[in-house]
Amino acid sequence: MIHKLVKDAAAAVTDISDGSTLMLGGFGLCGIPENCIQAILEKGTTNLTCISNNAGVDDFGIGLLLQQKRVKKMISSYVGENEEFERQLLSGELEVELIPQGTLAFRCMAAGYGMPAIFTPAGVGTEVAVGKESRIFDGKEYLLETAFNADFAIVKAWKGDTDGNLIFKSTARNFNPLMAMAGKITIAEVEELVEPGILDPDQIHTPGIYVHRIFEGKNYEKRIEKRTTSK
């Protein structure tokens, strides 16, 4: 089989250069590629464009990269949990493109399916629509939104095998499988890495063809943003 296994996060991100465009999976802090974010931080890579639904919190997730001013531009749908982000945005230090969450998902999906663009009604009549082409289908207006073009997609899965097949868990799936399909180079970090043949082919969410590098991550913190319990 095609060789995809790398030793660790540092080896996986070794050729991510300054100025790269990255897709980072996760929703809030759920299902984020913790190991790769840490490795990029340690490597010193800067001037990044990050496509990710959220921007982490001040001291975790993408927030760690923001804190050290490694991010030039963020493309996200919701950034409300991060004060440093809001500060950099309002002061103009950080370039930000806020887009509807469905549009973010569909632009990843389009890239993964080889489609140049999609039409969506989200954002019609709002500032999101400014400068965009629109079309009417059956009397309703839709915006033309183009596929993302990312140098690297960095995703986190629950289980994976050395052929790159991935299985996600619960709502930690979110954007991960979409981004996995969309990156020019896709890096997957998994909680549990197994040999080919262990995972049931019928249960695979992301076929290995989309994954270029895979490794078993370690020391997952899986921080919870809003621990909410019932009695």
Q: Using the rule CB under 8 A, which residue among 103, 134, 146, 151 binds other proteins?
A: 103
Does the footprint of other proteins cover residue 63 (CB under 8 A)? Answer: no
Number of neighbouring beta carbons within 10 Å of residue 200: 9
Q: How far is the CB of 190 from other proteins (least distance, A)?
A: 13
Indicate if the alpha-carbon torsion angle 120, 148, 203, 26 is positive or negative: negative
N-term to C-term CA, the chain:
50
Cα(87)–Cα(152) distance, integer angstroms: 27
Question: Count residues contacting other proteins (CB under 8 A)?
Answer: 59
Binding map of other proteins across residues 146-165, x = CB under 8 A, - = no contact: ------------x-------
Q: Which of 12, 25, 21, 14 is nearest to 173 (CA)?
A: 25
Does the footprint of other proteins cover residue 126 (CB under 8 A)? Answer: yes
* Residue among 42 and 97 whose Cβ is closer to other proteins: 97
Does the footprint of other proteins cover residue 101 (CB under 8 A)? Answer: yes
Does the footprint of other proteins cover residue 12 (CB under 8 A)? Answer: no
Choices 6-14, 33-41, 73-81, 211-219 (CB under 8 A): range interacting with other proteins = 73-81
Q: How far is the CB of 72 from other proteins (least distance, A)?
A: 18
Q: How far is the CB of 11 from other proteins (least distance, A)?
A: 26
Does the footprint of other proteins cover residue 218 (CB under 8 A)? Answer: no
DSSP secondary structure of 95-157 = EEEE--HHHHHHHHHHHHHT-SEEEE-TTTTSGGGTT--EEEETTEEEEEEEPP-EEEEEEEE
Contact residues: other proteins, CB under 8 A: 27-31, 53, 76-81, 86, 89-90, 96, 98-106, 108-109, 120-128, 158, 168-178, 205, 222-231
